[in-house]
Chains A and B, each alone.
Chain A
Amino acid sequence: MVGAAACPEDRVVTRKPSAGSLAEASGRDALVAEFVESWRGLEGDAWIVRGGRDEVRRTIVEAARIMVEDGGPATSCRVLAWSTADLASLDLPGLLAQQGWEHVPWPTGARAGEAAAGTNGAAAAGDVPGAEEVTRTQAELVTLAAASDLGITTCAWAVAETGTIALYATPATGRLPSLLPTAHLALVRPSQVVRTVPDGLRLLAEYMAREGDPPSAVNLVSGPSRSADIEGDLAVGVHGPRRAGVIIGEW
C-alpha cells in the first residue's frame, strides 16, 4: 500500500542495466561503494581516498582524530601498527611524529619475514625500516596493545555484500592490534574488495594451496563489536575496539 502511494502513475520507468553491463561499467567503484555502504550500515567509519599516498596519510590522521577523540585534538595518541612492507611505504613513524603521537610498531619475531610473505596484501617484513626485532613476552604485548589508542592494519581482502575485512594472523601481522586498542583502522586497496563471502574464502583457499595450511587465525571483522543483550537495545563496542574504521585507497 505504501509503495503504491509513493509511486505516481506517470512515473518514468528506467530500464535497469543488466548485472553484466553494470559490472563492466563501474565494477570496481560499485564494489567499493557497496563495501562502504555495508560497513557504515554496521556502525563502522569509512573513508574513500582517490588521491593516492599523501591523501591516505592525511586521512589516517583525520580518522585517528575522529575515532580516538571523537573529532577533538587528540593531543596524545599511541598507535600500534603492523610492521609490513606494505605499510612501511606510508612512513607511519614520520607521519605520527609530526602530530606528536607515539608510534609502536608490531615487533616481528624471528623468521617473521619468511612466514609473512604474501599475506594481508603485504610483502616480506624482513627489511622494513623501523620494524626492529624486539623480543617481548605476550604479557608485555597485551599490556601495550590494551594501552594503545589506535591499531593500524591492512587486510587480506574485503567483502562488499557484508561489509567485512579479513585479517590473517602471521608473525608480522599479529592479532592484538585489531583487537585491544580503543579503535581499529584498516587500510584497504580497492582491488582487495570482492563481492561475496564465498569469493573471499576462495582467496583464502588460494592462500592455503600456496602455503599448505590456513593461517593460525583468520578474523573476519564486520564493523565494531555489537550486542543486543540488554533489552534488545543495540550496544556498540562491548569488547573489541569501540570504533572500527576503514580507509579505501591506493598508496
Chain B
Amino acid sequence: MPGELPPAGATWPERRRRALADPAMRAAVAKSTRSLAVKKEAVFATYPAAEAMRKRAVIARRGSLARVDALLDELTRRVEARGGHVVRAAGPADVGRYVLDVARRRGVQRVVKSKSMATEEIALNEQLENAGLHVRETDLGEYIIQLAGERPAHILVPASHKTRQQVRALFDEEAAACAVDPPVGDATPELTAFARRQLRADFLAADMGISGGNFLVAETGTLVLITNEGNGRMTTSLPRVHIAVVGIDKIVATWADLADLLQQPALSGTGQRLSTYTTFITGPRREGELDGPEEFHLVLLDNGRHELLGTEFVDILACIRCGACLNVCPVFRTIGGQAYGSMYSGPIGVVLTPLLGGLERAPELPKSACALCYACADACPMEIDLPRHILALRRTEVERGMEPWSDRLTFELWGRFWANPAGFRFTGRIARLGQRVYVRDGRLKGAPGLVGGWTATRNAPPLARESFHEWWARRRAPRTGS
C-alpha cells in the first residue's frame, strides 16, 4: 500500500521564493548546519571506535531489513508477552483511530509528545486536536514550532530557523494566553527556564504520552528512545498511558545489532558520542513497580514503507534520521527545511517524500532540490546512495511524462543538436547571432528561456566572436596548404 503524507501547503515556486527572501532564516540555517557538520567530523576524528562501529551498524541495519516481516512478528510476540499492545497501522487514519480509541477508553484529555518524525508524517497532532484533545509538543524546538503553528525545519533542530527574539515573542504570547509570567529576557537560560516551567506543568497534568522510537529490538520486544533533552523520558515515565508510534523500518534483530547502532544517531547527528538520554522500554510497568505507564501500546506504522522492500530504494529504510545529509547539503543550506514542503527535508526528504507520499505529491524535489554534488552520499552513516535514488526518481518522472512540455522540448532539441559536432557548431552560430540583442556592457542580460533564468542572478559572458574550433581551423589552414 502506498503511503500518505500531509500536503505541501504552498506551491514550490512560492515556497522557494519565500525561503530565498528570508535572509535571517538562511543565515541561521547555514550557521546551525555548518556547526553540526563540523562537530560530526570532529567526533569521528577523535573517537577511533566510531568508524568501525558504523561499518558494523550498516551491516546490522541491512540484515534486519532483509527480514522485516519475521522480525516484526517476533517483536509483536515479545511485546505482548510483556503485557504491551501491538497494532499495525497502514496509514495516518489507522493511527489516529487507534490512539483516539485508547484515549476515549482511558478518559484521556491531555497528551504530551516527545519529538517524532513518524507522528509528523501522519499529522497526528491535528487528528487528536480535531477530536478535542490537548496536545503538547515537549521537545524545546518542537514546542517553539508548535507555538508558531509551523512545521519543523530540520529533523534534529526543528526551530533552527528562529532567532531568539522570535522565540521570546512566541513565549510572551503564550504567557499572556496562559496568564503566567513571561520570560524575563531573551538569553538562552531565561527562555529555557520559561519553557521548563510551562512544559513541566504539561508533563505533570498529562494522561497520555506519545513518543516515536529510534529502534525496536525484536528479540526482547524493546523500544529504544534517544533524546538529548530528556523529554522522551518524561513522556514515557509520567503519564499512565504510553503510545509509541514507530515506522516498521526501525526494527533490528538483536541487542548485538543495537550495540553497534546505538551511538550512530548521536555521532552523525550532533557529533556527540552518545545522546544524553537513551531509554530502553520493554512493556508497561511491572508488578510491584510504583512508577511508569500502566499501559504500553506500540503502533507499527507502514505508510508506504513495506512497498519499498525488494525495490531499488530499499536502503532508504536504513535511514536513522540523524540529519547528517541535511547538514552538508548546499541546497538545504540555501533554502532551509520549510521550502521542501515536507517534514522530511534535505537530501533524505528529496527521496523519502516522493517514495512515501507519491511522486505526484512532490515532483519538484528530485528535479530541483538537488545539485548532484554527492556530499550527502559521503555524509550518510548508513551509506544510503541518495544521489543514485534522486537520479532514479528523475528518470521515473521523465518516463511518466511528468515534466512540462516546454522542458521536454528544450532538452529533446538540445540533445539532438549536441549529439554531433555539426549540430554543436550550428547552435553556436545561431546563439552568436541571437545574443546580439541581449548583450549589454559585455554581459548577457534578459535573454529568453533557460538562458534568462540562468543570467537573472549570475553574470554570464556572451559567446566569443570566434569559437575555438573556428580559430583552430583558421590557424591550421595555411600550414596544411604549404
Contact = CB atoms under 8 A, between A and B. Distances in A.
Interface string A198-219: 1001101100100001111111
Nearest to B199: A239
Contacts of A219: 233, 277-280
Interface in B27-83: 28, 31-32, 35, 47, 49, 53, 82
B140 A229 contact: yes
Given A162-B274, A219-B278, A235-B192, A230 B167 contact: yes
A167 to B, nearest CB: 10
A216 B284 contact: yes
Interface residues of A, number: 64
A212 B158 CA distance: 40
A217 B49 contact: no
Interface in A220-250: 220-235, 237-240
Contacts of A162: 263, 273-274
Nearest to A44: B276
A42 interface: yes
A221 B276 CA distance: 6
A161 B204 CA distance: 34
B70 to A, nearest CB: 21
A230 B192 contact: yes
A213 B280 CA distance: 12
B222 A214 contact: yes
Interface in B451-466: none
A16 to B, nearest CB: 14
Contacts of B191: 230, 235
A224 B189 CA distance: 14
A126 B238 CA distance: 26
A240 B188 contact: no
B196 interface: yes
A179 interface: yes
Interface in B421-441: none
B288 interface: yes
A88 interface: no
A233 B35 CA distance: 11
Nearest to B286: A216
B101 interface: no
B282 A215 contact: yes
Nearest to B240: A138
Nearest to B259: A198
Given A226-B229, A232-B160, A142 B204 contact: yes
11 contacts: A171-B290, A176-B291, A216-B282, A216-B285, A217-B237, A219-B280, A220-B279, A225-B230, A227-B139, A229-B160, A230-B144
Interface of B: 28, 31-32, 35, 47, 49, 53, 82, 138-141, 144, 157-160, 162-164, 167, 188-189, 191-192, 195-196, 199-200, 203-204, 220, 222, 228-231, 233-234, 236-238, 240, 255, 258-260, 262-263, 270, 272-292
Interface of A: 38, 42, 106-112, 114-115, 136, 138, 141-143, 146, 159, 161-164, 169-171, 174-176, 179, 196-198, 201-202, 204-205, 208, 213-235, 237-240
